[in-house]
Amino acid sequence: MIQTCPCGTKDQTIDHLLYECELLNKERNSLISIAVKTDVWPISKKTLIRKHFKIFVKFTNEITFDKLKEMSNPPYQAD
């Protein structure tokens, strides 16, 4: 089951989180700045992992999944 991304624009897929999600712009910009030194962005996931594994791991470790989860399940608010 695919969930809607907390950013509200698309389903929360790997491609969306890696290439598009506005909530991850800061983390993605770090990834892009390293990858574009030797490749063109957007880069395929295969090439990204093969050639830029360390920065890809850093990108994924910087994602605060708890924050993404909280944003997709906001606490109840009374009107």
Flag whether 44 is in a domain.
yes
64 pLDDT above the threshold of 90: no
Task: Give ∠ CA 74-76-8 in degrees, rounded to 5.
Answer: 30
Domain count, the chain: 1
| pLDDT digit string, tens, across residues 12-53 | 889 999 999 998 999 999 999 999 999 999 999 999 999 999
Flag whether 8 is in a domain.
no
**Crossing angle of helices 25-35/53-62, nearest 10°?**
170
Residue numbers of the domain that contains 52: 23-64
Mean pLDDT of 48-75: 80
Flag whether 4 is in a domain.
no
Flag whether 7 is in a domain.
no
Query: Facing residues of 11 across strands?
Result: 4
Flag whether 34 is in a domain.
yes
Distances (CA, A) of 22 to 27, 51, 64: 10, 25, 13
